[in-house]
Structure 1
C-alpha cells in the first residue's frame, strides 16, 4: 500500500504573502493543523503549522493593546514564520516508509509530490485511521494475541485452524516477538466464540498472551 491510498488529495494550501492572522483564521475554519505553502508558480516553498502561527503571535504578557496586536499580525506574513526546509515524498512511497520518515524526523505531516507538483499530504491522523483499519477496530469480533514460533508456515496453520471452524478473520497483524525465535500475532475473528477460538489456536501457539 502506498501513500496515495491514505493521503488527502489536492490539499488546501496558502501563499507566502498571506497574513498570519488570515492563515490562523483559515486553519481554524477548515479544522486543519498545517498548510503547505506554494509560491505564485504553485511550487512548494514551505509548510506552516498551527504551532508556527501561534508562536508568531504576541505573548499574553505583552503591553500591546488588542488594536496594536491586530495591526502587527495583519502585517506579519506567512513567509516569515513558515518552515522552509520541507521533507517531502513521492506518491508511490509505501505507507510504512512514510511513517518511518515522520517518526525519524519528528514531524506530523509529509507533502506528497508528483515531480514538482503538490498532489497530496499525508499526516499522522491518516496513519491513525489506517491503524484502526488494520486492526479491525470498528468491526465486531474476538481479539487474540498469540506468540508463535518464528518459522515458515506458522501463520498458515493458525488461519487454517480458524477457517476450519467457521471463523472469519477480519484482521491479522504480526510483529516482533520476545526474541528472534518467535513472533507476536494479533488476530481478530468474527463468527467465533472466545472458547472456540482458544481451542483452535492454543495447540499451535507458544503462548496465548491475551484474548478478549
Structure 2
C-alpha cells in the first residue's frame, strides 16, 4: 500500500498543499485532478525524491509498511511515467528496455526478460526496432514496459494518455489499467480529463488540500 501522511508543501513559506492524506491499495488506481499550477507535479516530485530546493516539505510517505520519504530516490522504487515516452532514439527498443533491468542480470537473461515483456504487450519482434519508426501508441507501450521492468513497488502516471488520439487512448488506457491491476501495483495518476479515470476508482481533487 502507498500512503501519504500529513504532507504540507510550501514555496517561500507559502503553503502550496496543506495536510495531504490519502492511501492507494495494491492494484488500485487512484486519480488525482486539479488545475494547472495546483501542485500535482510538485507532489509527484516529492514522492520520487526529486523535490526542487525552492520547496519545503513536511510529512511522511509510506510504502508497504516502510517509511520511504527519508530514502534516496533509487531506494524508494517508486516509478513514474510521463506524457512523453522519453525513449532514447539512438538505441533500439530492446536496449531502451534493458536500461530498466538490474545491472546484476546477465546478458541472455536481460534479452529474455525484454522479449517476455514485449510479448505481453503484443509487440513480438520489436526488440531491434528503431524507436523513431514506432507509432505514438507503440512508443507509449514501450515507455510503460520500461517502467514496469524496473520492478517498481508503486507507480505514478503523469497524464500518460494526453498525447494519444481518441481511439488509441481508449485501448491503451484499458491495457495500462489491466496490466497494473494484474501486477498488484498501487498507482496514482494525474489527469485533466475525468474520462481517463478508471470506473469505480477513487478520484482526489488537489483543491481539497489547499
User: What is the TM-score of this pair, normalised by structure 1?
Assistant: 0.22
Q: Greater relative contact order: 1 or 2 (C-alpha under 8 angstroms, separation 6 or more)? A: 2
